[in-house]
Amino acid sequence: MTKPDPGPAAPPAARAAAVGGYILDCSYCGKPVSPTVHRRSGAPPYEVGYYRLLTGDLQLLTMQKPGEETVIVEFFKLLNPRWVAACRNCFADDRIQRELADLFSGVPEIPDGERAEGK
């Protein structure tokens, strides 16, 4: 059974222990979020406490595939990473759901002229 969050007025150590060892607040309303609760029986079998994703600026990097000089590999490096969390109430807002989806899928387009080519 999950301990209830003692709230923002509680000492940080008490809050951290109640929410699984770390303190996380909603990025939109600022309220502390509750962890996801899993049940052995009943419906639904779980109750989502919050939604969280890692986002940030991306930098395109290219390199030769080790052992294969003619193969070029392109990937994005995450710069300035930041966590974005949304409590259940804020996530119910369609605008916030769209914003989180955009943050999650925000891989920039690579113009054809900037694509690396193998030897």
* DSSP annotation string for 16-56: HHHTTSS--B-TTT-PBPPPPEE-SSSSSSEE--EEEEEEE
Tens digit of pLDDT for each residue in 4-46?
Answer: 555 555 444 444 445 455 578 999 999 988 888 888 887 788 7
* Higher-pLDDT residue of 13, 82: 82
pTM of the entire predicted model: 0.59
Domain positions in the chain are: 1-89
- Please tell me the predicted confidence (pLDDT) of residue 94: 95
Reported as a pLDDT band with limits 50, 70 and 90, residue 91 is very high
Taking residues 48-74, what's their average pLDDT? 86
- Please tell me the predicted confidence (pLDDT) of residue 114: 61
